Amino acid sequence: MSAGRLDRTKGLAMPALSRKSAPILVVGGSGFLGCNVADSFLREGKDVIVLDNLSRAGVERNLEWLVDNHGSAVHFVLADIRELAEIEPVFKEAEAVFHFAAQTAVTTSLDEPIDDFETNARGTINVLEAARRANRRAPVIFASTNKVYGALADMAMNAVGDRYVPVDETPRRYGVGEAQPLDFCTPYGCSKGVADQYVLDYAKSYGVPTAVLRMSCVYGPRQFGTEDQGWVAHFLIRALAGEPISVYGDGKQVRDILHVGDAVAAYRAVLSSIERIQGRAFNLGGGPENAVSVAEVLREIELLTGRRLMTVRSDRRIGDQLFFVADTRALQEALGWKARTAWRAGLRDLHAWLLQDWIEVSKAQRQPRRVTA
């Protein structure tokens, strides 16, 4: 399926379905995490509606990949969650809704706070309203962020080697739990935090079976990372291209990185148990076993690529947490979920996919163009 053949008609009604069972609706289904979740259901023979406005660079290729692999089981709707009238018809037959559509960059939110709000806050309440009005009690599972906890400036840190480590034993041993007070910081943190709370409230106020996953850093195949979002993939992409990598701060910031396969498993587990856990928010990340500093990831990329990396140092950015590791014990206890992919193995997987993707793109670019009179 070529980009030129994508149906760009906006505001489509519910697409015709090829199967008898109700479809899974993935909002933002052409994005990195959305397309991987969609693929997991499509491989089981489910129909999937992919609702996306295709605004992010590279996501058309994810949509083409889904259609190339699953054909007519993929039902694409070009629509924008900021427009309730556009998206509402699509929810009428959905069995379940995964909501990944978002403005994802802190830097963009600082430059364009109104647009950030319209997408993340208003867009999410539109998704919730569309699900509620469909009157099917379809679960809505929302991708939130660890940024709802703010910069964690009150968490005392020690610099140990090339990483920051909390002084307090509990976060040092287990990570940051859901009991951590919400502390929205930056327009992005505010807009995602508002959405997070609306999703939880729709379970209380309207009985919509909802759940929230507050994600740390997810990485893996189909991710076209940028400097502002998807930093692990971005680092690898820059390294493979022989281009300099921007490092904001001293590189000792710590994150627990999570392979996309494990993230998909978590979202599927939440859906399977939604009646039991609805109205709850869970932290989702790689946990202490996959906690790495920026400097450690850079070193591992040098080993993978066999070349010395060029880095450009700048000041730490607004709202950047020195340390965020998700305490995932609540998710483990509720659902039996656990991150299975160790971060070095996951990084190798992403590296291999990027190399293969570059080969495929190069072949496609070398294909002779057909000229018609």
Catalytic annotation present for 188: yes
Q: What angle do CA 72, 62, 143 make, to 5 degrees?
A: 105
Of the listed 149, 188, 198, 267, which one is catalytic? 188
What is the token pair recorded at 195?
Answer: 């959405």
Q: What positions carry a catalytic annotation?
A: 188
